[in-house]
C-alpha cells in the first residue's frame, strides 16, 4: 500500500523538534461532516432546514391534534420518515466515501527535501 511519511532532516535538533511539534496540530486532511456520535442530531438539524421537511413535520404534528385529525396519526408520519431515512442514508454513504478518500490521501507517500 501507499503511505505518506514526512521525515524532517533536522540532525541534532531532532529532540527539540519533537518537543515543539507536540504543540501544533497534525496536517491530516478531514473533509467529512459527521462522526459516529453526531451523525443523527446533525443530519436531522440539516434536514429540517429544508422547507419541505418542515411542511411534512407540521402536517404530522397537526394530525396529532384531535380536532384537526384527518388521517390515522401513523400514516401522516410515513412520508416524513421515508424522506428523512432516504436522505440520511444518502448523506451517510457520501460521508463514508469522503472518509475513505481522506484516509487514502493521508496515507500517501510523501518525499521531503531539505537543503
Asked if the structure places residue 13 within a domain, the reply is: no
Q: Confidence class of residue 115 from pLDDT cuts 50, 70 and 90? A: low
Query: Is residue 1 pLDDT above 80, yes or no?
Result: no
* Structural domains counted in the chain: 1
- Rounded to two decimals, the pTM is 0.69
**Residues 90-103: pLDDT tens digits?**
999 999 999 999 99
- Closest by CA position to 47, among listed 93, 75, 89: 89
The answer to whether position 50 is within a domain reads: yes
Give domain status of residue 115, yes or no. no
Output 77-83 pairs: Cβ under 8 A, ≥24 positions apart: 80/53, 80/56, 83/52, 83/53, 83/56
The label of the residue with cell 384531535 reads 66
Q: Decide if 72 is inside a domain.
A: yes
Mean pLDDT in the chain?
Answer: 84
Residue 112 is assigned to a structural domain of this protein: no
Query: Does residue 77 lie in a domain region?
Result: yes
Instruction: Name the residue with higher pLDDT: 42 or 14.
Output: 42
**Residue 95 maps to a domain:** yes
Residue-number span of the structural domain to which 99 is assigned: 31-107
pLDDT, tens digit, 9 for 90 and up, residues 55-110: 989 988 888 888 877 778 788 888 899 999 999 999 999 999 999 999 999 888 87
Query: Is 9 among the domain residues?
Result: no
Amino acid at each position: 500500500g501507499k503511505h505518506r511519511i514526512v521525515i524532517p532532516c533536522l540532525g541534532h535538533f531532532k529532540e527539540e523538534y519533537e518537543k515543539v511539534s507536540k504543540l501544533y496540530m497534525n496536517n491530516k486532511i478531514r473533509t467529512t461532516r459527521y462522526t459516529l456520535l453526531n451523525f443523527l442530531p446533525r443530519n436531522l438539524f440539516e434536514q429540517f432546514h429544508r422547507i419541505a421537511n418542515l411542511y411534512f413535520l407540521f402536517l404530522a404534528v397537526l394530525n396529532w391534534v384531535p380536532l384537526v385529525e384527518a388521517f390515522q396519526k401513523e400514516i401522516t408520519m410515513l412520508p416524513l420518515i421515508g424522506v428523512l431515512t432516504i436522505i440520511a442514508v444518502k448523506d451517510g454513504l457520501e460521508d463514508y466515501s469522503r472518509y475513505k478518500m481522506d484516509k487514502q490521501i493521508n496515507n500517501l507517500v510523501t518525499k521531503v527535501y531539505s537543503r
